[in-house]
């Protein structure tokens, strides 16, 4: 028998202690040896070729995806964190791993835990791309009825489902958006860790954002005890930020359980991003109302004033409804003349430019992102007046309706108008035009928007149009946040690391705090400028370290 290094992990020790305390019968050496040989026979050790590829002639896989599948199955024994950057095909990799294991007879029962809004999308992709018949849970189903179930953690963790699921021996568990399991004190984390599983895949584009303990918690789901005990790990690494990790040994351990492909290292980088800044000017009437809001709310909280100004930059409808529905007595005392002025405004300058731009695309599919539901409704009406077909996509819709809207956009409508919540988790590779009607104050959110179309399967160069109105807040955001950082030319992951180093979880919250603490727009601009300068300098430092 060849030399074997058996690494005792925490789960093994817990089970051994339980067996001793309960006076369970421990098997002899012969039984152990036979069991070991049986397990060894079912383990895949060589991958000169993947059997699944010949079963899927309609699919084209990128080299990094095939290499990931081989690495996970051959080197990681089917327990891994798939941490590719957004749009590189983590779902494709997970689907191919599942297919490969099923063909080899190693997976007969699998459970996929995904966000509720993505259940149908996962099922559709498994059916269409991998010929895997997966099912979502229905009231008349039992959890043993189908070999492959796709559901949400929120459903699975609730009784009576929880008990039934925890009693099933799964061959493979797949968890999408696994970064939501970083906190080991949550019910979701405890539930996933308690699942009986032979293989396990955790999918996340952000396996670690700030503290190393977050990654420790994910690894512990895959291999309990692999990185030592919680106490030992926190004592050694608890105060170290992810970006400052210099421990070569720990890095090597992590590389044995995590695969992270970056866009710059893949063929997908051949699909280019063409970024266009579209500068607009308010009409005379719109500029007057903008200045009135700025003057009327001079004595109010900066946050309230900024909110109304941002809304007016989006649409008269968004600003009108916000003022009308305000419960603030001070706002009510001054809003009647403002409401009259807003109602009298002509069609928004942005809406007019939007129509002009879409018409120039000659029927090509376009996704338009806005921050406000009121603007979404207005744009759908305005586009219809110009004979441009559109569909509205937002958060809060049921899964079936979301899928129907997506198919309607793909097969019939030219434009999808999406709010931030609506755009989360949808794949729209058949579209290569994005118009950011309203710019978010968080570059990460902008990257997520672009990731809806700039992802695996995109065959055309992507065109991104960013609207901004001069002499307004949007001008500051565009010039400071996007043009100065040059966010589109730099790796978005670098910005993520910089923010973690600065202990900033959300750029938007940081900017809103600057707004709240500023007495004037000029003071706010100076604070924003200083912050961006720090980020810009740190970005250059990271670039020098990389090439040094």
Contact 372, 420 (CB under 8 A): no
State residue 202's pLDDT score.
95
Nearest-10 Cα torsion for 259, 261, 262, 265: 140
Cα angle 286, 288, 289; round to 5: 65
Q: Collapsing DSSP states into helix, strand and coil, what is residue 179?
A: helix
Q: What pLDDT, on the 0 to 100 scale, is given for residue 137?
A: 85
Question: What residues are paired with 218 via a beta bridge?
Answer: none
* Phi, psi of 199, rounded to the nearest 5 degrees: -120, 155
Token pair for 135? 């099912």
Domains of the chain by residue range: 10-265, 271-280+344-547
Task: Indicate the pLDDT class of residue 546, thresholds 50, 70 and 90.
Answer: very low
pLDDT for res 548: 44
H/E element holding 465? Answer: strand 462-469
The closest of 56, 165, 85, 114 to 444, measured between CA atoms, is 85
Average pLDDT over residues 327-338: 70
pLDDT value at position 237? 77
* Percentage of the chain modeled with pLDDT above 90: 35
More confident residue, 311 or 87: 311
**For the domain 10-265, what is the CATH superfamily, name and number?**
Tandem AAA-ATPase domain (3.40.50.10810)
d(CA 403, CA 428): 12
Instruction: Return the structure tokens found at 254.
Output: 């992590």
Mean pLDDT to the nearest integer, 345-358:
93
Of 362, 363, 412, 421, which is closest to residue 391 (Cα–Cα)?
Answer: 412
As a whole number of angstroms, the distance between CA 169 and CA 218 comes to 21
For 131-207, where are the alpha helices, taking DSSP H only? 153-156, 161-166, 187-194
Give the list of residues 6+ apart from residue 297 with CB closer than 8 angstroms, or none: 304, 305, 308, 331, 334
Give the residue-averaged pLDDT of 311-326: 89
- pLDDT of residue 487 exceeding 50: no
Task: Please give the Cα distance from 305 to 355 (Å, whole number).
Answer: 29
Phi–psi pair at 523, nearest 5 degrees: -65, -40
Indicate if 271-280+344-547 has the same CATH topology as 10-265: yes
Mind giving me the DSSP string for 393-424? Answer: E-TT--HHHHHHHHHHHHHT-SEEEE-HHHHT
Q: How far apart are CA 96 and CA 53, in angstroms?
A: 8
When pLDDT is averaged across residues 184-197 and rounded to a whole number, the result is 92
* Each residue's pLDDT tens digit, 390-441: 999 887 777 778 788 888 998 999 999 998 765 555 678 888 899 999 988 7
In angstroms, the CA 52 to CA 195 distance is 27
Look at the block and give the residue holding tokens 């001069």: 470
305 closest CA partner among 315, 296, 314:
296
Stretch 286-300: mean pLDDT: 80
How does DSSP classify residue 366?
Answer: E
**Amino acid 441: pLDDT:** 76
CB atoms within 10 A of CB 310: 21
pLDDT at 27 (0 to 100): 59
**What's the pLDDT at 133?**
92
Averaged pLDDT for residues 323-343: 76
Measure CA 347 to chain center.
Answer: 34
Report whether 202 contacts 172 (CB < 8 A): no
End-to-end CA distance of the chain: 47
Distance (Å, whole) CA 113 – CA 111: 6
Residue whose structure tokens are 């990681």: 76
The model's pLDDT over 212-227, given as tens digits with 9 standing for 90+, comes to: 788 889 999 999 888 8
Q: What percent of the chain has pLDDT over 70?
A: 74
Whether residue 160 is preceded by a cis peptide bond, meaning omega within 30 degrees of 0, is: yes
Q: Which residues pair with 110 in a beta bridge?
A: 148, 172
- 411 token code pair: 């097969």
Give the mean model confidence (pLDDT) for residues 530-536.
74
Q: In this predicted model, what pLDDT tens digit does every residue of 104-163 receive, in sequence order?
A: 999 999 999 998 878 888 998 999 899 999 999 887 788 988 899 999 999 999 998 999
Q: What is 271-280+344-547's CATH topology?
A: Rossmann fold (3.40.50)
Mean per-residue pLDDT of the chain: 80
Number of H helices, E strands in the chain: 25, 13
The model carries a pTM of 0.57
């Amino acid at each position: 028998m060849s030399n074997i290094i058996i690494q005792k992990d925490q789960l093994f020790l817990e089970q051994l202690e339980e067996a001793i305390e309960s006076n369970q019968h421990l098997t002899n050496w012969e039984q152990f040896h036979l069991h070991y040989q049986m397990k060894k026979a079912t383990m895949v050790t060589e991958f000169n070729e993947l059997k699944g590829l010949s079963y899927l002639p309609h699919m084209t896989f990128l080299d990094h995806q095939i290499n990931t599948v081989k690495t996970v199955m051959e080197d990681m024994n089917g327990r891994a964190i798939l941490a590719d950057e957004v749009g590189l095909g983590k779902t494709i990799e997970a689907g191919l791993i599942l297919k490969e294991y099923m063909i080899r007879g190693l997976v007969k029962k699998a459970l996929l835990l995904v966000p509720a809004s993505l259940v149908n999308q996962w099922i559709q992709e498994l059916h269409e791309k991998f010929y895997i018949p997966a099912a979502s849970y229905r009231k008349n189903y039992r959890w043993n009825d189908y070999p492959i179930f796709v559901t949400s953690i929120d459903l699975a963790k609730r009784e009576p489902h929880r008990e039934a699921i925890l009693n099933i021996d799964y061959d493979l568990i797949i968890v999408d958006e696994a970064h939501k399991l970083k906190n080991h004190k949550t019910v979701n984390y405890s539930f996933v860790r308690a699942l009986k599983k032979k293989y396990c895949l955790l999918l996340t584009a952000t396996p670690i954002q700030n503290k190393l303990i977050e990654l420790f918690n994910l690894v512990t789901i895959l291999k309990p005890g692999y990185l030592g005990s919680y106490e030992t790990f926190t004592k050694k690494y608890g105060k170290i930020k992810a970006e400052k990790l210099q421990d070569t040994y720990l890095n090597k351990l992590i590389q044995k359980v995590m695969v992270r492909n970056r866009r710059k290292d893949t063929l997908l980088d051949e699909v280019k991003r063409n970024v266009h800044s579209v500068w607009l000017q308010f009409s005379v009437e719109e500029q007057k109302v903008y200045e009135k809001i700025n003057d009327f709310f001079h004595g109010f909280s900066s946050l309230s004033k900024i909110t109304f100004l941002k809304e007016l930059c989006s649409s008269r409808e968004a600003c009108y409804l916000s003022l009308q529905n305000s419960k603030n007595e001070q706002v009510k005392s001054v809003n009647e003349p403002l409401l009259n002025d807003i109602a009298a405004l002509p069609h928004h300058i942005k809406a007019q430019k939007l129509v002009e731009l879409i018409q120039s695309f000659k029927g090509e599919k376009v996704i338009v992102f806005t921050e406000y539901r009121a603007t979404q409704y207005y744009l759908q009406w305005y586009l219809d007046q110009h004979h441009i077909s559109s569909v509205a996509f937002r958060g809060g819709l049921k899964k079936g309706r979301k899928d129907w809207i997506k198919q309607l956009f793909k097969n019939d409508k030219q434009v999808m108008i999406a709010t931030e919540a609506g755009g989360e988790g949808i794949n729209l590779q058949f579209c290569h035009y994005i118009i950011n009607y309203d710019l978010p104050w968080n570059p990460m959110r902008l990257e997520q928007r672009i990731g809806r179309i700039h992802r695996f399967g995109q065959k055309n160069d992507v065109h991104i149009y960013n609207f901004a109105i001069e002499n307004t807040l949007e001008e500051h955001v565009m010039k400071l946040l996007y043009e100065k950082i040059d966010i589109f030319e730099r790796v978005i992951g670098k910005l993520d690391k910089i923010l973690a180093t600065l202990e900033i979880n959300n750029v938007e919250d940081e900017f809103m705090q600057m707004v709240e603490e500023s007495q004037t727009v000029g003071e706010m601009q100076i604070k924003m400028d200083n912050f961006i300068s720090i980020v810009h300098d740190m970005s250059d430092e990271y670039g020098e370290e990389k090439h040094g």
